[in-house]
Every structure is written in structure tokens, then in C-alpha cells.
Amino acid sequence: MAFFTRKYEVFVVLGDPGDEPVWTEDRWSLIAPILDPLIQSARGPAGVRSIQLRAGPGSPNQRAMSFGRIGWDGQGRSKWVHAASSDPPELRPFFISTEVWAPSPKTCEREGQSPEVYVAVRNEQSMPGQVVTFNPIFLIAAVLGLGAPVRQVAEAVAVQLHSLLRVQCVRAWGVQFGSAGFTNAINDLCITGLFKLGPRSQNPPSAEMLEGTWEAF
């Protein structure tokens, strides 16, 4: 079976932007235990990737932060989750996204098989203080037949996010492109492919702004 052909249940939740961000310690400590049974059901240990920016010493320019290896455990979480800080806003990290692969991306690449579980959370704000009508984008994908309560996990996350929109679909990891490649992968959706082209933060979130066929859950 090719890397991209396995089918997945995919759940997308758009959260309430008025809430404290889910990447803060207080919020993530509530969400991580919900996700944990799903993550642990994968064939190998999970790996985490996070993209964040921070101003350098004596400079207002934002630079990408380096986290090194991040595991799905307390030590790994402490690397990327935002703890309470007395720093002024301009010196605090600016969160862009975090993704969880179970098993890790390196394992998936080595074995030539997509992950059993993939989770992504993305900041809808492109700059600090930007007004948006939803935040964050939260995606949960699990391979069909995993045997874990995927829908219940997605529903519990949606409750924690005070969801403004929650939809689901079944699809392959990617779409074949050429003789051996693929495009439109699940791990790209939070960046491109989930939303139709055009502005999306002027109106309340709705299924009409999404590409493809989705249904509420």
C-alpha cells in the first residue's frame, strides 16, 4: 500500500477566539489527556513539531524558535506550550502551529507508511492582535479501523474549544500526483486545502468556507 492511500476519519474544529489560546499551559493541560488514548493507540511513539517565532535579543525581528526533538510527554510539552510569563507581549513567543504524528514523522518515513493518528492546531491570527472570527483551527485524523474512540475524542476537544464549527469527513491521506507522488495531504490541510480561496475572517465560520464535502458531527 502506498504511503498516501490509507483512509482516515478527519475531524476539524474551529474554536472561539475569545478563549485563552489552547497552546497555553492551562488550556493544553485539559486537552492533552483527551488526546492521549488516541495517540497511545498508534503503532509507535509520537513525535511533535511546533513552529513559533520570537524576537531576538535587542531586535524586534521575529525569528523561528528551535525546539529540538519533542516527544509526547511532559518534558516534550514543556518545550513548546506557553507557560505563564511576565514578559511584555512583544517578547513572548508567537505561536503559529503544532502537529503531532503518531508514530513520529521519522518512523513514518522510514517505514513508508502514514501515521495512525495525526493532530494539528494552528493559530488563525497571522500577526499578534489581529481580529479573527475563529481561533484556533484544530484537526484530528485517525486511520479507519484504529479501534479507538476517535469521534468521542473529537467531540470532547470541541467542547473544550467552545467550538463555533465542527465538521468531519472520510478521505485518504493524500491524492495521487504523477506516477508515485501525492498532494493535498492531511498534514497540509491547516496550511492549504481546507479553506476556499479568499478572506475568511470577516464572517462567522460556516461549512460554506471549506473546500470539499464535510458534515457536522
Domain boundaries, the chain: 7-216
Separation of alpha carbons 123 and 201, rounded Å: 13
Give the residue, 34 or 148, on which the prediction is more confident.
Answer: 34
pLDDT at position 182, please? 84
Give the residue, 86 or 201, on which the prediction is more confident.
Answer: 201
pLDDT at position 206, please? 94
Under 8 Å between Cβ of 174 and 7: no
pLDDT at position 201, please? 77
Closest among 102, 82, 81, 104 to 37, alpha carbons compared: 102
pLDDT at position 103, please? 98
Give the residue, 20 or 90, on which the prediction is more confident.
Answer: 20
Closest among 93, 149, 134, 142 to 117, alpha carbons compared: 142
pLDDT at position 55, please? 80
Mean of pLDDT values over 194-207 = 89
- Beta-strand (E) ranges in the chain? 7-14, 47-55, 62-64, 70-71, 94-102, 117-122, 137-143, 165-172, 175-177, 181-183, 215-216
pLDDT at position 59, please? 59
Q: pLDDT of 75-88, one tens digit each?
A: 999 999 999 876 77
Share of the chain above pLDDT 90, in %: 79
**pTM, whole model, 2 decimals?**
0.94
Mean of pLDDT values over 11-28 = 97
Mean of pLDDT values over 1-5 = 82
Under 8 Å between Cβ of 113 and 139: no
pLDDT at position 129, please? 83
Q: pLDDT of 101-132, one tens digit each?
A: 999 999 999 999 999 999 999 999 988 889 99
pLDDT at position 37, please? 96
- Which DSSP letter does residue 168 get? E
pLDDT at position 123, please? 97
3-state secondary structure of 26: helix
Q: pLDDT of 154-195, one tens digit each?
A: 999 999 999 999 999 999 999 887 767 788 899 999 999 999
3-state secondary structure of 216: strand
Mean of pLDDT values over 37-46 = 97
What are 23's three cell numbers? Answer: 497552546
Mean of pLDDT values over 3-23 = 96
Query: What letters, b where the CB count within 10 A reaches 16 and e where it falls short, cover 139-149?
Result: bbbbbeeeebe
